[in-house]
Amino acid sequence: MSTSTTHDAPPRDLPWHIVGRWQEFDGESRANWLRVIAIAAFYVVELLNFHGLSAGPVEWPKLAGIDAAFHRSVTAIALAGAAVSLCVLLCLRNRIFPGWLKFVSTTGDLLLLTAFLLVGDGPRTPLVVAYFLIIALSTLRFSLTLVRFATVGTLVGYLCVNGYVRWFGHADLAVPRYHQVLVLISLALTGIIAGQVIRSMKSMASEYAQRVQAGSSSVT
């Protein structure tokens, strides 16, 4: 697996670094497929909202307020997300996995989701919950730094969405201040919990390795 990194000094915990890099690679692959599934699922909902559906007992009424311009914007954002997934897939297929790739793909997720919220109903749209999915995806890479990056990114993205509707005159899309604070607290706590999961896994792996080594030493 090519990492395309510079010749830095080896980390102090080399075994964990090696195992962690492989887990990051597998996690990036899983996160990429989940990204594709999420984009497809959300875009299907957008298609149903735009065109509506009436098939016997199954009926999905067309959502009022969705015009062709909005639909084109959402389509462009979905295509951009698909392009990000394709680039990540090509890198992984060719065993090109620099340390910064996971940060680039996560930044793409943050920008695309924030762009969708800006062209849509801002903080009022239910898709705000997708910020939590970005933090969850970062956990799959087993990188504490990435979890922190994703958490800060979601906080900044959500603040930008709220700032946009306030400063550019979209008062009808604004949510109460307590609503904003609760979402920000929830995002921060989700990131903290995800980080603690990574810390616990590293501690558990280290303790298990020490017990195995101690057992081998006692046998010899």
Q: Are 65 and 104 in contact (CB under 8 A)?
A: no
State how far the Cα of 10 lies from the Cα of 160, in Å rounded to an integer: 39
Give tens-digit pLDDT for 99-138.
Answer: 899 999 999 999 999 999 999 889 999 999 999 999 999 9
**C-alpha of 154 from chain center:** 9
State how far the Cα of 3 lies from the Cα of 18, in Å rounded to an integer: 12
Task: Name the pTM for this structure.
Answer: 0.83
Give tens-digit pLDDT for 166-177.
Answer: 888 778 889 999
User: 2 - beta bridge partners?
Assistant: 96
* pLDDT band per the 50, 70, 90 thresholds, residue 194: very high
Helices and strands: H and E segment counts in the chain:
6, 2
Residue 1 has pLDDT above 80, yes or no: no
Structure tokens given for 176: 């109460």
State how far the Cα of 177 lies from the Cα of 157, in Å rounded to an integer: 16
